Amino acid sequence: MKNIHGLKAGQVAVIFIFSAVILAIPAIFINRSVMDLVVDRLGIDARNVAITTAHLIEEDLDSYRALADTLAPPDEPALMAYYQRMLSLFRHLKDELGADFLYTEKQVSDTGIVYVLDAEDPAGDVFAPNGTEDYLSEYERQVFMMGLPVITKLVDYSDWGEYLTGYAPIMDTRTGEVVGLVGVDYSASTVGRTTAGIRTIILIIFLLIAVLVTIVIVFQIRLRYQTIKTDYLTGLGTKQHMDQQLKLAVAHAESSKKAFSLGVLDIDSFKLINDLQGHPVGDLALKAVAGAIRENLRQVDIAARYGGDEYVVLLPGQSRIYAKVVSFRILESVAQVHLADTRIPKLTLSIGIAQWEPGMTAQQLMIKADQMMYQAKGIGKNRVVTDTDTGQVSTH
């Protein structure tokens, strides 16, 4: 599976899913809050439309009362003209408002009402002609009793479905009597359509935040991974990283039966550099040697600062002979290093090389290369010694 900054794509997917699950909790609350706000807003709109429509009816209240008293479509021409005109006006208002139902009603008993005006198409199945009976809900009862507008929540009516309604009383200002009421209904599906765009925006924002959180987490993991595997001073690998790579190299060699070589490099007289010149100059020396090592390696080779002034180089698929050639090049590069404003005449290294042999563990190979490095120091420093050398080896 593809590796993304030290993480497999599957691991990144797990991080994204985890972030999404965590963020889903506030997203659900936000969505619910938005739904509540939309319901409240539609309720206020429904109430205001009902109030406005009631005032419109009150301007010709006598005609409306006469129509309501007939309890049936009127026969008298003038009243029929009024009825048809109001039905047309209601249909226009309903279409403009996007409401599901717009109607007026009159209370005829403690438990029942009749519809008077209805915004539905008279040819449709749900049109309620003047005088059509229905039961009286508790919300409608409040309007008739109190003479005040009412907004319902989403109420599930067994015959009609789930609706949000705004009610307003039709008042006879001369007597203070509630003649009837106006109802404006919005269905749950209309509320859902109204909030669909908002929910989409919330979803997009939620996904973007989840992606950003994933990127931040991956970046932090990558940064931590880089800290673990990269030496802060030299930019080479760390001891931990080299130990991991060496174990992998041994496992690969065991399966492929192809040898590889390991080099241990140590700066000669480094303690004197620190004692005489100070640790800042010692750090300059460490960086310079790291640069010399880096410039003489292939892209597949691995180099690490193993501790203090000791470095380790892993050369996959290469013999000790190739490793010796590379080591000589490193010695030559280090010899050309000039540390400005210091009293160090030149830097030198002692290098030990060991080649992996079948059955050899990573620890055994490291010990062998380390022993070769100490042999190089013991016979004069500034030298390369391999695990098959019988004499002294030097570049000078």
Catalytic residue set: 309
Alpha-carbon distance 383 to 396, whole Å? 8
Rounded to a whole number of angstroms, the distance between the first and last alpha carbons of the chain is: 49
Neighbours of 379 (CB within 10 A): 15
Q: How would you classify the pairing of strands 349-355 and 384-386?
A: parallel
